[in-house]
Amino acid sequence: MNQLAFIGLGSMGLPMARNLLSARFPVAGFDMNPRALAALADAGGRVCDSARDAARGADALILMVVNATQAEQILFDEGALESLADDALVVLMATCPSAAVARLAERVAAVGRQLVDAPVSGGVVGARARTLSIMAAAPAAVFERIFPVLRGMGDKVFHVGEEPGQGAVVKTVNQLLCGVHIAAVAEAFSLARKAGVDLQVLLEIMSGSAAASWMLKDRGPRMLRDDPEVTSAIDIFVKDLGIVLASGSDSRVALPLAAAAHQMFLATAGRGLGQADDSQVIQSYDLINGNCQA
């Protein structure tokens, strides 16, 4: 891997690109945001005027974009795919529906390149600290080629399957559990608050019992604060649980808990809280259960 292209230098993408530069990979980058490009240049990256320019001659094109539609535009409409080196790999790291990833992989293969389906978990904190989990699906030989690059962005790199789309499934399942766990904590706290139980004591007990979850320990304390910092927004779970349910619908799988949790995130966003911290789904529970003066 002599040359990498990186498209999508947002709150996740920029620190990921920085970590690749620290690992001595040459990175050419593009983003619509000029401040992101300036930050890449500061870190030693080469800044380009378009996705096509960044991709020119690269051995791997890393896409940390918003969704599958944006990945499609960059690869096909903006001509990034055709300007890559002949045997280049396209590494899709955004959270996308599995079926969309499989379709993209076919279109990439049709022009002689290969897609690595490699979504991540760990958020901005993990992107900065190079502690992301990366769930990669690709034929074994392809996975071996891209492994050093993935290892430059995360410390837990898993080969989850040979077929593009299987990484997306694992990420989807991850988000199902994350979203349901956050909503479950909010639901539990709402019941306890109505009964007059001290929620700080409750949080301490639950954190050390069989009721514990990663989300309880991370989001639980923020549910008890009035205006917590935003580490991941309500809108992310509106989108990601939407992908979970679309995947379920595509493959005809009933997901009653995910569906119920999605409704609560949707209602929270519907009151204008889409950019609030996702812990604030508790406000929807407290509202419907009469725990707040409306």
C-beta of 103 vs 156, nearer to a second copy: 156
* Least Cβ distance, residue 78 to a second copy (angstroms): 30
Q: Please report, as ranges, the residues that interact with a second copy according to CB under 8 A.
A: 98, 121-123, 133, 135, 156, 158, 160-161, 165-166, 169-170, 172-178, 180-181, 183-185, 187-192, 194-198, 201-202, 204-206, 208-216, 218, 244, 247-248, 251-258, 260-261, 263-264, 288-290
48 or 137: whose CB is closer to a second copy?
137
Find the helix packing angle between 256-268 and 281-288, rounded to 10°.
90
Among 171, 194, 217, 239, the one annotated catalytic:
171
Smallest distance from the beta carbon of 190 to a second copy, in angstroms?
6
Cβ 203 to a second copy shortest distance, Å = 10
| Residue 107 or 156 with smaller CB distance to a second copy | 156
- C-alpha 180/C-alpha 215 separation (Å) is 10
Q: How far is the CB of 145 from a second copy (least distance, A)?
A: 20
Contact in structure between 240 and 173 (CB atoms under 8 Å): no
Nearest of 195, 205, 179 to residue 269 by alpha carbon: 179
The residue assigned the tokens 């539990």 is 188
194 as an active site residue: the answer is no
Element (H, E) at 182: helix 166-194
The 3-class secondary structure across 40-86, one letter per residue, is: HHHCCCEECCCHHHHHCCCCEEEECCCCHHHHHHHHHHCCHHHHCCC
In this complex, which beta carbon is closest to a second copy, that of residue 87 or of residue 144? Answer: 144
**Residues tagged active-site:** 171
